[in-house]
Structure 1
Amino acid sequence: MTRIVVVDNHGQFTHLEGRALRDIGVETEIVDNTTPPEEIEADGIVLSGGPDSADEPDAGGRCDEYLDMGVPVLGICLGMQVLAVERGGRVEPGEYGGYADVTVEIDDPEDPLVGSLAPETRVWASHADQVVELPPDFERTGRSDICGIESMSDTSENLFGVQWHPEVAHTEEGEAVFENFRAVCERATERGI
């Protein structure tokens, strides 16, 4: 059974991420973001959202170290922002802060994480902070009228990020995001990547 560990960045929806993964038949565990990487055994890692800003000292705990574990990583909200900063992108405060329904336009129908979603997908997202510059080797895979980078991927490294929360009921096709990430993890395991 595929095992995906959720790293808790102290967000209010972290437990829902664990539940969403269990609901699709994934073995999962939630660990704090200070957990040493050598104590994590996983086929994939989800970096949860959280209240911090990605440019604050210690934001995301040891999330930067989890990016180098050789397994696929999905960053959600703060998780995506930490991923972007650690890989050379840039995050800034968004002009639109609180949680709201947002329509995301999927840019890349071939993307293994979000490509299967409807071309225009309603999601639940906060834009207190957002990625404003992609890291090198990443592609934008989704955008909206309030945020130019709603999702991103580096498929060569199996690193993915979404600004929105696929784990909440307000997000359309949220389960598909987790199923697609599971498929990425399974392919990586088969290939020994």
Structure 2
Amino acid sequence: MTRIVVIDNHGQFTHLEHRALRDLGIDTELVDNDTPPEEIDADGIVLSGGPDMDRIGNCPDYLELDVPVLGICLGMQIIASELGGRVGSGEYGGYADVTVGVLDESDPLIGSLAPETRVWASHADEVKEVPAGFTHTGSSDVCSIEAMSDPDRDLYGVQWHPEVAHTENGEEVFENFLDICNA
């Protein structure tokens, strides 16, 4: 059975990410972001959202574990920041219900949501420039980079929260990530 570990970056919805995976019948565990990388036993990792970049623990080290990684909100920003992208303050600020246009229908994480999907996202901070090797895969009128993917390294990120009820196709995002982990 595929095992996906959710890294707790102390966000308000982290427990919902864990629950969404469990509800899909996935073997999952919620672990603190200070867990040593050598103690992570997983076929995939979800880097949860959280309050700020100052409390990301060992998240940069988890990117080196050679398993697929899905970054959600702060998790996506960690991936971008650690791999040479740029993160900055969003113009919109807080949470918003937005329509994300899917820019790449072949993307393994969000391509199935094309042409667009409604999501719930925080835009206090956001990715301003994707790292080398990544493709910009989702955009909205609130945030230019709502999603990014690097299928060659199995690294993915979404600015929005697929685990909340306000996101239309959130379960599909987790199912697609499971497929990535099983590939």
Q: Which residue of 2 aligns with 1:182?
A: 178
> What's the C-alpha RMSD, in Å, of the aligned pairs?
0.7
Show CA shifts across 1:102-132 (max 9, x none): 1000000000000001311100000000000
Letter in 2 for 1:173: N
Is the counterpart of residue 143 in structure 1 residue 161 in structure 2? no
* 2:129 equivalent to 1:133: yes
* TM-score, length-scaled by structure 2: 0.99
Percent identity of paired positions between Structure 1 and Structure 2: 71
Aligned AA for 2:66?
G
Distance in 2, matches of 1:162 and 1:140, equals 10
CA separation in 2, counterparts of 1:89 and 1:178? 24
Q: CA deviation at 1:23?
A: 1.0
- Equivalent of residue 162 in structure 1, options 150, 155, 158: 158
Look up the match of 1:108: 104
SS in 2 for 1:176: helix
Q: Is 2:48 aligned against 1:68? A: no
User: Within 5 Å, which residues of 2 pair with 1:32-71?
Assistant: 32-52=32-52, 54=53, 56=54, 59-71=55-67
CA distance in 2, matches of 1:86, 1:119: 30
Distance in 1, Cα, partners of 2:142 & 2:164:
20
Distance, in Å, in 1 between the alignment partners of 2:15 and 2:130 is 28
Question: What corresponds to 1:24 in structure 2?
Answer: 24
For 1:3, the equivalent position in structure 2 comes to 3
Unaligned runs of 5+ in 1: 188-193
Name the residue aligned to 1:122. 118
Q: What corresponds to 2:168 in structure 1? A: 172
Are 1:99 and 2:87 an aligned pair?
no
For 1:31, the aligned partner's letter is V
8 Å CA contact retained: 2:105, 2:114: no
Distance in 2 separating the partners of 1:172 and 1:134: 25
Indicate yes or no: 2:76 matched with 1:80: yes
Q: Give SS of 2:18's match.
A: helix
- In 2, the alpha carbon distance for the partners of 1:107 and 1:25 equals 30
Unaligned residue ranges in structure 2 (runs of 5+): none
Name the CA distance, whole Å, in 1 between partners of 2:10 and 2:86.
22
Contact 2:162 2:171 in 1 (8 A): yes
Q: Secondary structure at the match of 2:112?
A: coil
1:135-158 CA distances to partner (integer Å, 9 max, x unpaired)?
000000000011110000001000
The Cα of 1:79 is off from its aligned counterpart by 0.2
